[in-house]
A and B are shown apart, each in its own frame.
Chain A
Amino acid sequence: MKLTMKISVIVMTVITLVVAVLGTRQVLWPKSTDFENSIVVWGLIVLLGVFVIVQAVCLFVYPFQIKKIGFYLLHIGLIAMLVGSMIYFLTGIKIQGYIPVDPQGSTAQAVYQGDKKNLLKGDNYTANFSSFRFGLTDFSVEHYEPLYDVYKLDPSTKKQERIKTDVEINSEGVYDFGEYGKKSKDDLLVNGEYPEQIKLNDDGTIVASRRTTVKHYKGDVRIVNYETNKNYDETIEVNHPVRVNGWKIYLMNYDEQDHGATFIFKYDPGEYIMLAGLCMVMIGAFVACFVRPRQKAGDAQ
C-alpha cells in the first residue's frame, strides 16, 4: 500500500512538472505550440496512461470499505475521464465549416468544404455526413445598447485622450455626457443604428466613440435526418449545441455582412464516458473530503 502511494505521488509529481514546464513556456511565449507537437502529445499520453495504471492498482490494493466510497468514486472517475478522452483522441472527428443563410436550408454541402480535423488522421480526413443534412435558414444578432467613451482630440499632436468612459443610456432613453450635453436615443438613431462617433462640440475636438457588445446570436437550422426520415427545424445558439445522429453541432461565429455562420461538427464517442467520469470525480471529492473522521493533529492516517 505504502509503495503504491509513493509511486502514485511520484507519477503525479512528474505530470505536474511536465505540465508546469509546458505551461510556463506557454505563458512566457504565447505563440509556442508545444501542445500541438506530436512528441509532447504522445509523451503526455504515455504519462497519463501510467497514471491510469497506477490509479487502477490503487483501487485493487485498497480493500473495499463503504466508508471509502469517496476514494473509489474519485479514482474510478479519473480512469473513466482518461479513457473517455482517449476514445475521443483515437476516433473523434471535428469539422469546421461556414454556411451561408438559405431560407430553403439546402446549403449543407458547404460543410464539406470546411476544415476537417481528426487528431490521428490529420487534415485530410473526410467526414461521412450521409446520415443527415444540415442547413441554415435564418440568423439573427442582438446587441446591447451601446456604451460611449468620450475622447478629447489634441489638434497639435493629433492624439486622442479618453476623458470619460462607459456613458450608457439611462431609463429615459438619453445619453448624458455631463458638461458636453445630452443626446436622446431618437436624435441619435440613423436608419435604426447608433452612430459610431458623435461630435460633442462645434470644432469636433470632443467626440464620443461607440462601443458595442453582442448580447445574443442564434441560427435557425433545418435538419433532414435520413436515419429517422424526419425533417425538422431547430434553433442553435452559443452554449446550446444541437445533436444529430451522434454528431454535436456548435454555433461558433457569424458574419453579419455575408449573412452566414461558422459551425463546428464534432463526433465524440467517448463523451458520455468522460461526462460520467467528471461527475464521479466531483462527487467522490466531496464525499472523500467531507465525510471523514475528524483528524487529530499530526495524524498520518
Chain B
Amino acid sequence: MSIQIMKVILGCAAAGYLLSAVFFWCKKRIPSYIANGIAWVLNAFVVGVNWVNNGYVPFVSMYQVLTFLGLCFTLANIYMLAVHKDNWISPYFNLCSCVVMIGCLFMNATMIWHFVPALQSVWFVPHVFSYMLSYSLCAVASVLSIVWFFNKRNRENLDRGIYNLVMVAFPFMTAGMFMGAIWANEVWTEFWSWDPKENWALITWMLYAIYLHCRRHKSLKKFQYVFTILGIVALFMAFQGVNLFGAGGEHSYS
C-alpha cells in the first residue's frame, strides 16, 4: 500500500478524532463514540500495515511510534472511563490523538524499516510501549493543567482528573525509563550515559515526581500545575525536540 494512501487514512483518522471531540462537547455522545471508534480503527489499520510491512512491532521510526501513540490515547481513555468514570476527559484524549495524527502526516513515512541489531532485544517493546502509554496520559494531564488556569468553575474536577492521569502515567514512565536503563546496560555497556534523550527523559520524570510531592504539601500545592506544564515541555523535548535539534545521540534512530 502506498504512502499516499496511508496518509489519506491518517488524515481521515485525524478528522474522526476531531469530530468525536466536537460531538462530545455538543453533548452528542453516541455520534462522538462512533467517530472515535472509526478513527481508532483507521489508526489501528495503519499500525497494522506498518507491522505487516516490517514483520515485527512497528516501533522503529518516529512515524511508526507516533501512529501507535495515537492508539494509546483511546486505550488510556477507556481505562480512565472504566476506573475513574471521568468521561468528561474523553474529548481531550481525542484532541491529543488528532494532533498526533496530523503530526504523522508530516513525518518521513518510509514504509520499510529494518530492525538493526541494537534494537533486537526483549526490552524494546515494553520500553517503547510503557513510554507511549505514559506520554499519552501526561499529554492529556498537561492540557487539563492549562485549562485549570483559565477555568475557575470546574477546578475540582480538573484537579482530580489531572491527579488520576498522572498517577497512572508515572509508574509507566518509571518502567519505560528504567527498563531502558537495563537494556542500555546490555547493549551500550552503561545503565546511564547522559545521552540528550536520557537527560530529557530524566527531567520529565523528575518534574512529574515533583508534582506528586507538591500535592501532598499544603504550601507547595499552589505550584503543582507549573510542574505538569513544564513536564509536557520536557516530554516534548525528550520525544521530539532532541531529534529535531539533531542531538539524538545513542538514540538517533528513535
B23: interface (CB < 8 Å): no
In chain B, residues 182-196, which have Cβ atoms closer than 8 Å to a Cβ of chain A? 182-183, 185-187, 189, 191-192, 194, 196
Residue of A nearest to B112 (CB): A166
Given contacts A168-B112, A301-B215, contact A238 B120 (CB under 8 A): yes
B29: interface (CB < 8 Å): no
- Asked if residues B234 and A94 are in contact (CB atoms below 8 Å), the reply is no
The secondary-structure label for the interface of chain B is helix
| A-side contacts of B93, CB under 8 Å | none
- Asked if residues A285 and B170 are in contact (CB atoms below 8 Å), the reply is yes
- Asked if residues A27 and B218 are in contact (CB atoms below 8 Å), the reply is no
Question: Which of A13-21, A127-135, A191-199 faces chain B?
Answer: A13-21
- Asked if residues B156 and A298 are in contact (CB atoms below 8 Å), the reply is yes
A190: interface (CB < 8 Å): no
- Asked if residues A2 and B217 are in contact (CB atoms below 8 Å), the reply is yes
A39: interface (CB < 8 Å): no
Question: Which has the most chain A C-beta neighbours within 10 Å: B185, B186, B218, B249?
Answer: B185
CA distance A275 to B199 in the complex (A): 19
| B-side contacts of A292, CB under 8 Å | 167
The 0/1 profile, CB within 8 Å of B marked 1, for residues 208-226 of chain A is 0000011111000000000
Question: Which has the most chain A C-beta neighbours within 10 Å: B191, B214, B215, B245?
Answer: B191
Question: Which of A4-12, A104-112, A153-161 faces chain B?
Answer: A4-12
A296: interface (CB < 8 Å): yes
Shortest CB-to-CB span from B38 to chain A, Å, is: 29
CA distance A264 to B188 in the complex (A): 9
Residue of A nearest to B205 (CB): A16
A23: interface (CB < 8 Å): yes
- Asked if residues B114 and A213 are in contact (CB atoms below 8 Å), the reply is yes
For chain A, which range describes its interface: under 10, 10 to 19, 20 to 34, or 35 or more residues? 35 or more
- Asked if residues B189 and A6 are in contact (CB atoms below 8 Å), the reply is no
Residue among A16, A240, A281, A295 making CB contact with B178, cutoff 8 Å:
A281
- Asked if residues A28 and B245 are in contact (CB atoms below 8 Å), the reply is yes
A22: interface (CB < 8 Å): yes
CA distance A77 to B192 in the complex (A): 16
Question: Which has the most chain B C-beta neighbours within 10 Å: A22, A248, A289?
Answer: A289
- Asked if residues B241 and A27 are in contact (CB atoms below 8 Å), the reply is yes
- Asked if residues B156 and A26 are in contact (CB atoms below 8 Å), the reply is no
| A-side contacts of B151, CB under 8 Å | none
CA distance A168 to B51 in the complex (A): 16
CA distance A296 to B159 in the complex (A): 10
- Asked if residues B221 and A278 are in contact (CB atoms below 8 Å), the reply is no
- Asked if residues A94 and B189 are in contact (CB atoms below 8 Å), the reply is yes
- Asked if residues B214 and A9 are in contact (CB atoms below 8 Å), the reply is yes
CA distance A296 to B219 in the complex (A): 19
Shortest CB-to-CB span from A246 to chain B, Å, is: 15
| B-side contacts of A274, CB under 8 Å | 185, 191
- Asked if residues A281 and B174 are in contact (CB atoms below 8 Å), the reply is yes
B102: interface (CB < 8 Å): no
Closest 4 CB pairs of A and B: A297-B156, A213-B114, A23-B199, A285-B174
Q: 20 other contacts beyond A23-B200, A23-B203, with CB at 8 A cut-off?
A: A5-B216, A6-B217, A9-B220, A12-B209, A12-B213, A19-B206, A20-B203, A27-B200, A30-B245, A85-B192, A94-B189, A216-B120, A238-B117, A239-B120, A241-B186, A252-B189, A282-B171, A282-B179, A297-B157, A298-B156
By a beta-carbon cutoff of 8 Å, the part of chain A in contact with chain B is: 2, 5-6, 8-9, 12-13, 15-16, 19-20, 22-23, 26-28, 30, 35, 85, 94, 144, 147, 165-166, 168, 213-217, 237-241, 248, 250, 252, 264, 266, 271, 274-275, 278, 281-282, 285-286, 288-290, 292, 295-298, 300-301
Query: 20 A-B pairs, CB-CB below 8 angstroms?
Result: A5-B217, A8-B213, A26-B196, A27-B196, A27-B200, A30-B246, A168-B112, A213-B116, A214-B116, A214-B117, A239-B186, A241-B186, A248-B189, A275-B185, A281-B174, A282-B174, A286-B171, A297-B157, A300-B216, A300-B218
